[in-house]
Structure 1
């Protein structure tokens, strides 16, 4: 409901973008907007795109069309009605859900980055059809109200033979095609939001307030079936036709219903000309149900209050200090324990304080923050009942409430245009996250992350040329799968870009990614599956026209 969507413009405009990249990646985008009557009170926008995307991974191919249309009508000087629709789908051949394994001692297997353990007939398809509407009215120059609604229907089809098994360092074997999984889901989602925004003066100072409520419901009819395979697989020379596509057995089905609604508010009070107090919160209700084989399982939460509080102090015209506190309430109804019951929500609190400012006559933005987050009852795997909860995932993973996670660190960023034509961004994050056992869980959030990027538009006769580059770096980490450490070294990935403005309408750009061709895992899982390589060096050529 609160998505930021592309809006129509009264001034006619058309954008055409084409892209071609490594591994036969192609994409075209068309984006047109205009007024639809003489006065401009009716405006429309239409967006369409088509992507045909190959991959560095053997056999992986994706096609993805998109259609989007939106219409805005001014019912009066103060009221605007918006109607829109979106159709989006994707069809992926050679799809794999479990990635690559590691050695049984936790060490990485030196595989080609193109390695895929998928069968040629593996396929994953999705579709979403959405309609949405919004009514916005301004009561006066200070107060406005908004009503918005959305409805979507979707589908999810999948047939996947998946491999699992750690590799024995001595025999170089151990992986096998375990099962074929068939899935067919039908989804329906509805949402509604209404809020009132206002500004008012009191005690000689300005204040702001937002009050509202929202409701959403998602229904999912999930059908699934499995066929045992138990076929050894050589990961160093994968046979993508090791097993034929089996006949699908009878479906098993589970129906899900997820209802959530609540009311919320946000009040910003100016206590002085320099000091502001921000307060608010949300009261939430949710009702999650699943029904399978005549058995209904339910999780509910009523009147859950999640407040937030903050202060902002303007040190001068360019710098301000802030501090904030926010409660955390995270439903975990997607996880079940060994008895089949849904887990309780994870709850906690987030604290943050920092400064924000501007330098060089507001050309450069600077921010520095300290944060601390604590959550309890976070879901953790129940190893004592491994493989017994097939309603959770294909592994049958069972979960327990109980983990306590603490994250603390700093976040810094500098961005802007310090010199004419030079755009720059420097960001650094230090994040120390630990679980109940005291072990770092930096696999999800690396301890150190650094982001540097800049672009420069040359002056004078070379003003049509813009060049730039950047690096994204993060520290390494070590996890533990039982007693086996899983290490992922730190990395720095360098990118570069050059663009040329051909004329007032057309421009062309070349992007190079991972220029040093660093071989790394973008995600690590367990010793038997869940490890994924990052993209090798690749290039994308873009031609864009704006009219």
Structure 2
């Protein structure tokens, strides 16, 4: 194999290997810094890109000819040194360059030292220069290693184009870009490469791939809960901003419907996450990082077709717009039309995302954008029931109880902007604002009730109607930087944030649309009239105490008794329905003796909830409505105003020690806090907040210059004082409309203990790997639970003890193979967990004649021996998936994703009742993706 010496007019080419990052080998300048010049080399064939580079710089390139066939560069645009421009051209190719005078030798990237070239010639391996690649602090080392921020984005945490399964810089848990090993808590990332390889299109699918996360289906096919360390994740960040609530107003406000086509990567912190915000839940928090404009033109088209008539098209374009590249833009449009493995449910979605960046000055960056999503769905409400005995119905996985007229439609508008101002070389001021407005219309029905094993009846059709609007406005200002003290670098982060949530606009109360005494349901002329109330409220001639029966075992959605009901009258409205959370924080990373670091911080939080609620007349015979008209106010408004203030003390404190440059050990404490001011004690005082602590110790190793990250952590969390009903006092409402009476004794403890293990990144050239194992055990502890007979029992039994996830990929081209096989990438993995369960009681002794309409019977009594315990189990399962990807050229590729290859039949979610809430996992499926990139 010959080595060719290329001059300005020579043809040049290089191999692009998507799975391995580029590291440019550049010597330190002996004296003055190299002069910058302007570059404008478009993305495309690397042969042409390097020829343009050589022509514009006069630098001679030396390379081995087996690296050159059919490869691609991301291009480079802007003013920079020749060394930095060459680094950009090689980013994501698995190649590195060594500068020597007016020439550069290009080889495959490897460990520092010597690399054997073809024909026995030996050249130096990659050498990194901080001046060219950026500061090693605040995530700069990750950029230098080529595992983030090398694709032409100003965002140092960007993972697009790196081909890596890991990142060298995340903002989760720190508010400033830090390497994973420098954050003394358990954090993980789902990079752009994994989003593409595992065909992650929505937020639920993304969470399914993250370490330690368990998915629990909610009350409908549109709602999913996420558990981490046994607790519910209830907050989310976007671009590291103030945390937004994932639980505020699930029925009366914001319901996140997140498409992943606009995000570069996902970051997650497991454990207490309240250090920089108002959410001190022990589960953790998620950070979604938006795609940003690139400094070069790029157009990507991704078209998909999959099982069950699932079609999707994403067009993603970015380019410099004006002012010599100082103004850049990006536009993403997404269309999806999707069916599900169960009958009749469907989704149709249109998304438009636009973002611009402007370099106002060399130290000032302004970003502004919008995101519009319109989503129309035919959802499944309630899931499957079981027999009254608790036995599984064993129905086909395609079975659903979806009524054809069901609909749940969303329209979401998001505006956002950031301003970043560098102050000197070490300080950064950042303002981050996001406004999210959503309207939601829902008219649905589902099945409720267990199935009588004798006659196959029991469930009823239950319907509801919502017409809601919500808004969340989040704003945050942070100042981050570093200073020298006692000869050591000390880092500081301080900030304030505020999230205001409001669900007043357009709200109509939840109203039953089937069979209430004020809203009788007659599905067709001369048909039965259903009245769900008792004889005292139901008119003569109606079918009392029931709704339309649902024959689950022989369901016919076109039965006339399931005719779409009329919309109900509004039974109430909110004059005010909002929540405001404000925080201020100070975080220090103090260093002593070079290797020893103390991370500590303080946080102040204020939370307020304000609701003014009016009931409206829908039945003129009811109390308060006699002599009034339909829609008149029924009674005095119900006011709910409550709030709490917290100052984190003792402060969070984490100690870490750099054993070597790549190995760090840490141990520390982070506080847990959650307001409970909506609950009242018997003395009618607000319940104290939930408190507690998260103790964690671990080891983090960043191998292969940050291309491979390994973490091992052990933790113990105690959450104290959660509200428990005071069973000695009947439940009632106090004057402000909040519930009474509750106990919040600090001796009421929920404990979570476990182990996290994760490895992610490049094991060897061309081989990317991500594997995690999480063990978790939750129990009730403390005197209060002892009195209730609950001490030592499992707190959250639906959260499995063991969760493991694996995904690995081998890129033949990146590994050095040539010829046709160089375009092939094979990937595969498995997601699995141990068993989980719910327990409860069911009636095993029914008396009386069955109801002639729905087959329901009365239980002989509400205690033993007529009630017997049951356990609904999600058995242990493992779901195997794979992907085959072939690059036909530097522009075109075709991939096949196969999910649940072994066609495992399993329940992903069960409920604590035989009446509903049991959901199958998806069967085997295939998705074909045709991708083009210019």
Is the structural similarity TM-score above 0.5? yes
Structure 1 contact 14–32 (Cα < 8 Å) conserved: yes
Indicate how the Cα distance of structure 1 residues 82 and 200 shifts in structure 2: closer, same or farther if over 3 A, else same. Answer: same
| 2:358 paired residue number | 73
Structure 1 window deviating more from structure 2 (220-229 vs 5-14): it is 220-229
User: Aligned to 1:202, which of 470, 480, 485?
Assistant: 485
- Secondary structure, in 3 states, of the residue corresponding to 1:463? helix
- Deviation of 1:503 (Å): 0.4
- Deviation of 1:477 (Å): 2.2
- Deviation of 1:416 (Å): 2.4
- Deviation of 1:49 (Å): 0.5
- Deviation of 1:163 (Å): 1.4
Indicate how the Cα distance of structure 1 residues 171 and 335 shifts in structure 2: closer, same or farther if over 3 A, else same. Answer: farther
CA distance in 1, matches of 2:798, 2:772: 19
CA distance in 1, matches of 2:430, 2:315: 30
- Secondary structure, in 3 states, of the residue corresponding to 2:917? coil
| Stretches of structure 2 lacking an aligned partner (at least 5 in a row) | 1-237, 242-287, 516-546, 615-636, 734-738, 842-868
CA distance in 1, matches of 2:455, 2:759: 52
CA distance in 2, matches of 1:324, 1:167: 51
Q: Residue deviations 1:128-184, cap 9 Å, x none?
A: 11111111111111111011222222101101112111223344332111x320101
| 2:303 paired residue number | 18
| 2:806 paired residue number | 452
Alignment TM-score, normalising by the size of structure 2: 0.55
CA distance in 1, matches of 2:601, 2:356: 34
**Aligned pair 1:508/2:792, yes or no?**
no
CA distance in 2, matches of 1:50, 1:334: 42
- Deviation of 1:441 (Å): 4.3
CA distance in 2, matches of 1:105, 1:334: 37
- Secondary structure, in 3 states, of the residue corresponding to 1:39? helix
Query: Which has a greater percent of strand?
Result: 1
Indicate how the Cα distance of structure 1 residues 153 and 501 shifts in structure 2: closer, same or farther if over 3 A, else same. Answer: same
User: Aligned to 1:426, which of 760, 771, 788?
Assistant: 771
Indicate how the Cα distance of structure 1 residues 323 and 145 shifts in structure 2: closer, same or farther if over 3 A, else same. Answer: same
Structure 2 contact 500–581 (Cα < 8 Å) conserved: yes
| 1:134 paired residue number | 418
Query: Which has a greater percent of helix?
Result: 2
- Secondary structure, in 3 states, of the residue corresponding to 2:450? coil
| 2:458 paired residue number | 174
Indicate how the Cα distance of structure 1 residues 490 and 260 shifts in structure 2: closer, same or farther if over 3 A, else same. Answer: same
Give runs of aligned pairs for residues 278-357 of structure 1, distance below 5 A: 278-293=599-614, 294-305=637-648, 307-331=651-675, 345-357=689-701
- Secondary structure, in 3 states, of the residue corresponding to 1:75? strand
CA distance in 2, matches of 1:508, 1:248: 47
Q: Residue deviations 1:281-308, cap 9 Å, x none?
A: 3210010122212111122012443642
CA distance in 2, matches of 1:401, 1:6: 46
| 1:534 paired residue number | 921
Structure 1 contact 344–401 (Cα < 8 Å) conserved: no
Indicate how the Cα distance of structure 1 residues 380 and 490 shifts in structure 2: closer, same or farther if over 3 A, else same. Answer: farther
| 1:98 paired residue number | 382
Alignment TM-score, normalising by the size of structure 1: 0.92
Indicate how the Cα distance of structure 1 residues 335 and 522 shifts in structure 2: closer, same or farther if over 3 A, else same. Answer: farther
Structure 1 contact 162–180 (Cα < 8 Å) conserved: yes
| 1:250 paired residue number | 569
Q: Residue deviations 1:360-406, cap 9 Å, x none?
A: 675542211101112134467999999999xxxxxxx9996656421
| 2:29 paired residue number | none
- Secondary structure, in 3 states, of the residue corresponding to 1:374? strand
CA distance in 2, matches of 1:472, 1:532: 17
| 1:234 paired residue number | 551
- Secondary structure, in 3 states, of the residue corresponding to 1:439? coil
- Secondary structure, in 3 states, of the residue corresponding to 1:192? strand
Structure 1 contact 209–268 (Cα < 8 Å) conserved: yes
Indicate how the Cα distance of structure 1 residues 536 and 377 shifts in structure 2: closer, same or farther if over 3 A, else same. Answer: farther
Structure 2 contact 716–751 (Cα < 8 Å) conserved: yes
| 2:751 paired residue number | 406
Indicate how the Cα distance of structure 1 residues 91 and 450 shifts in structure 2: closer, same or farther if over 3 A, else same. Answer: same
Indicate how the Cα distance of structure 1 residues 82 and 506 shifts in structure 2: closer, same or farther if over 3 A, else same. Answer: same
- Deviation of 1:334 (Å): 8.6
Indicate how the Cα distance of structure 1 residues 358 and 5 shifts in structure 2: closer, same or farther if over 3 A, else same. Answer: closer
CA distance in 1, matches of 2:469, 2:774: 40
| 1:192 paired residue number | 475
| 1:82 paired residue number | 367
Structure 1 contact 297–341 (Cα < 8 Å) conserved: no
CA distance in 2, matches of 1:75, 1:364: 36
Indicate how the Cα distance of structure 1 residues 238 and 166 shifts in structure 2: closer, same or farther if over 3 A, else same. Answer: same
CA distance in 2, matches of 1:84, 1:363: 32
Structure 2 contact 732–741 (Cα < 8 Å) conserved: no
CA distance in 1, matches of 2:728, 2:445: 26
- Total equivalences in the alignment: 538
CA distance in 2, matches of 1:399, 1:540: 53
- Deviation of 1:212 (Å): 0.5
| 1:143 paired residue number | 427
CA distance in 1, matches of 2:410, 2:550: 28
Structure 1 contact 124–159 (Cα < 8 Å) conserved: yes
CA distance in 1, matches of 2:887, 2:730: 58
CA distance in 2, matches of 1:206, 1:150: 33
Indicate how the Cα distance of structure 1 residues 331 and 160 shifts in structure 2: closer, same or farther if over 3 A, else same. Answer: farther
Structure 1 contact 256–291 (Cα < 8 Å) conserved: yes
- Deviation of 1:40 (Å): 1.1
Structure 1 contact 443–524 (Cα < 8 Å) conserved: no
- Deviation of 1:85 (Å): 0.9
- Deviation of 1:99 (Å): 1.3
CA distance in 2, matches of 1:341, 1:27: 53
- Deviation of 1:478 (Å): 2.8
Larger-gyration structure (1/2)? 2
Indicate how the Cα distance of structure 1 residues 264 and 361 shifts in structure 2: closer, same or farther if over 3 A, else same. Answer: closer
- Deviation of 1:542 (Å): 0.8
Give runs of aligned pairs for residues 411-490 of structure 1, distance below 5 A: 411-435=756-780, 436=785, 437=790, 438-458=792-812, 459-461=817-819, 462-482=821-841, 483-490=869-876
CA distance in 2, matches of 1:49, 1:156: 20
CA distance in 2, matches of 1:145, 1:270: 22
Structure 1 contact 422–455 (Cα < 8 Å) conserved: yes
> RMSD over aligned Cα, in angstroms?
2.8
Indicate how the Cα distance of structure 1 residues 387 and 18 shifts in structure 2: closer, same or farther if over 3 A, else same. Answer: farther
Q: Residue deviations 1:58-87, cap 9 Å, x none?
A: 110101111111111122111122111111
- Secondary structure, in 3 states, of the residue corresponding to 1:236? helix
